Structure 1
Amino acid sequence: MSTLKSFWNESVNRLALYVLAFSYAVEVSQYFKFIKVLGLQNFTVARLILGSSFSWSDIVAYTLGVLFIFIVEGFRTKRRGMGKT
């Protein structure tokens, strides 16, 4: 998240949601075999960026990762409110 924060002045939670939406979009494109629709299935770089296989476990992992960010950020915010850094 800190890399994204260097480019955009957004809250950590909002950036986490943006990343989650992007991850979901990539997974949906994999589900619908978008790489074949574009005719890029033979290009290694395209397969690396867009991926080639849909997985529910990826969706679960992305969601859990963002929930973890929300929890950690919640604790950090609460700590800041108590005057500790």
Structure 2
Amino acid sequence: MERFAMQHLAQWKVRKDRKPLIVRGARQTGKTWLLKEFGKTSFAETVYINFENERRLRDLFSEISTSRELFPRLSSITGKRLTPKTL
């Protein structure tokens, strides 16, 4: 299963028309581990953001009016510079 999921993520990464990545599933099945491992092995920088645990991050979406505001605001909150090469 791990190999299949990593393969799927690798295919997503190289797509020119890729959309934002949303990983859903049952609790305690390895989603967080999978994404952190994928980020470590496939991206220069990985930033982990948990919108469920961070109220400030959840509220962010009601505060911004355009998608152009999202990355600068997330960068400000996380203290990490987010670029297209960041997972």
TM-score normalised to structure 1 length: 0.23
| Bigger helix fraction | 1
> Which structure has more RCO (C-alpha within 8 Å, separation ≥ 6)?
1
Q: Which structure is larger by alpha-carbon Rg, 1 or 2? A: 1
